[in-house]
Amino acid sequence: MTAPTLSNPDLVPTTAAQRTWRWYHFAALWVGMVMCIPAYTLAASLIESGMSWSQAVGTVFLGNLIVLVPMLLIGHAGAKYGIPYAVLARASFGTQGARLPALLRALVACGWYGIQTWFGGQMIFTLAGVLLGHPLAGDPLPGLGISAAQFGCFLLFWALQFWFVVHGIDAIRKLETYTAPIKIVICFVLLWWAWDRAGGFGPILDQPSAFVEGGRKAGQFSAVFWPSLTAMVGFWATLALNIPDFTRFARSQRDQLVGQAIGLPAPMGLLAALAVFVTSATVVIYGKALWDPVDLASRMTGAAVLVALIVLLIDTVSVNLAANLVGPAYDFSALAPGRISYKAGGILTCVIAIVMMPWKILASTEGYIFTWLIGYSALLGPVAGILIVDYYLLRKTELVVDELYVEGGRYSYRGGWNLAALLAFAVGVAPNVPGFLNAAFPAAFPEVGAAFKAIYTYAWFAGLALAAVVYGVLMMGKAQPQTLTRSAT
């Protein structure tokens, strides 16, 4: 019988009636998530590090092509069995141990949800200033460090998203499907606007790589490329884990494979190219490079500024809900299925996002994109490695789904914990810890060895590979530990 501590209506396998997602829904989902402010500004960090525009766009595309592989591999289980990530993790970590990777994934997503909500609040803040004819002012509130107007705009955007939290994943699917074509059109309109105003695309496109002979960083391309590539992979590292939360609604395996292959790498590379082209034009139009689309929108005149900021608001809502709400909602539900539903998990995500005060995360983390992205990719890479080895190499994609929901079955291991997975996870994370501390807090941890810094450069790759090898060795011949086997009813 299904254990109440492991199951609720939101966690059990999806029925045939619930499997309504076709390939174009997955493609629209990814287009909706790709078209976001952090993704737009990623190319800026690469060009500022010395890359030419083509090197920056190529790095973004390659990183997303790489992360597509675990995305499709892990998504297979969702489409085949209709189970979410938090349940799939039980096959490798154990019925109780799976709570660890679920919690890690959920907390990272809460941070991202808060950051994206802060971006949305800043758009409302900017829009209000434009409509009033002057920027909103005010002293920072004690303990918060931001003004009452900024905090109020943050809470307003938080409330706008809350409607979709209450109405569930189908409302999010409809939002992504309907807004994706609009986002594509707006991107081309923005591109035309920049080209028309600047009479071309400006100087950034003519700027050579700083790594060529005679350049200011001659011969240093590898030192910049590898951590940049790791950051690009890290950008979607959370989705690579919880993609079964979406693929469990796929009508077929082909739908999730084709939809994701179309929707992720190419649109991400095209968005990076768009960002470079438009920003290059802003050098001509405004006299300086404007990589922040909110800043760019606020400088437009007439109805254009209103339209631009509203589009950015819709965009941020859609990406935040899909990328940073669905996963933790299921993950929190899996922590206590009898008390936390998917909807309750979503509400919990929203509350934690406020408590984490994302504006302080952004202010206190040096180079937040690289520290944040590489940092959590070091944490989640090992989990991906364990899941892939367990599902493909050890179990050959065959799971006894009923026993994922029972205590004392083959996925209970020792008291619900698979020590092999925990050890493999620890081995995968440990070598990256010194490098992370040095990157995030250089003043406090200045004496980190060159070897640890080098490992951290490849954080996601290193963590995934180490955990995968250790887990595979420890589990050799133990893929199906036979204890008491029972069927769920």
pLDDT band per the 50, 70, 90 thresholds, residue 402:
very high
Residue scoring higher pLDDT (123 or 259): 259
> Measured between alpha carbons, how far is 424 from 146 in angstroms, rounded to an integer?
42
Predicted pLDDT of residue 129: 85
Going by C-alpha positions, the residue among 230, 281, 284 that lies closest to residue 42 is 230
**Range list of β-strands (E), 148-238:** none
Q: Average per-residue pLDDT in the chain?
A: 87
pLDDT digits (tens, 9 = 90+) for 329-354: 999 999 999 899 999 999 999 999 99
Residue 432 has pLDDT above 80, yes or no: yes
Mean per-residue pLDDT, 76-87: 96
Mean per-residue pLDDT, 217-244: 86
Residue scoring higher pLDDT (77 or 362): 77
> Measured between alpha carbons, how far is 64 from 351 in angstroms, rounded to an integer?
30
> Measured between alpha carbons, how far is 270 from 283 in angstroms, rounded to an integer?
20
> Measured between alpha carbons, how far is 345 from 166 in angstroms, rounded to an integer?
11
Q: Are 130 and 348 in contact (CB under 8 A)?
A: no
Q: Which 3 state secondary structure label does DSSP give 21? A: strand
> Measured between alpha carbons, how far is 67 from 423 in angstroms, rounded to an integer?
24
> In the beta sheet, which residues pair with residue 244?
none
Predicted pLDDT of residue 32: 81
Cβ-based neighbour number of residue 236 at 10 Å: 26
What proportion of the chain, given as a percentage, has pLDDT over 70? 95
pLDDT band per the 50, 70, 90 thresholds, residue 304:
confident
Contacts of 50 (CB under 8 A, 6+ apart): 209, 210, 211, 215, 216, 217, 220, 224
Residue scoring higher pLDDT (169 or 251): 251
Going by C-alpha positions, the residue among 65, 78, 27 that lies closest to residue 399 is 78
Task: Please count the CA atoms within 13 angstroms of the CA of 485 that sit on its side-chain side.
Answer: 7
- pTM equals 0.85
